[in-house]
A = this chain, B = another copy of it.
């Protein structure tokens, strides 16, 4: 057969706003490991601006910020993921994982 498969996208929304998706989770994780929005952006070959805008929207849409940042100082500045941010990363990744399983199941059902 030709490769018929179910695929999809998952978002964690706050109201109607797509607050978190796979890309933003990756961004958050890279910020977490590098301590820098700029370095995270570079790793994902994304412009700093785009990365910052993503962070800004995430911070503004939740009650607590997911990323805290300071400018100036040692290294020029830094960014850090809050515990709330870490929680949301974990939550999203778990659900995303079982979402992928779901898609896989449904795809396998086709060729029965």
Contacts and interface: CB of A to CB of B under 8 A. Distances in A.
Interface in A43-98: 63, 91, 95, 98
Contacts of A91: 110
B13 A7 contact: yes
Given A95-B106, A102-B102, A110-B91, A11 B8 contact: yes
B2 A12 contact: no
A95 to B, nearest CB: 5
Given A3-B15, A8-B10, A99-B102, 11 more contacts: A2-B15, A3-B13, A4-B14, A5-B12, A5-B13, A6-B12, A6-B95, A8-B9, A8-B11, A95-B106, A98-B106
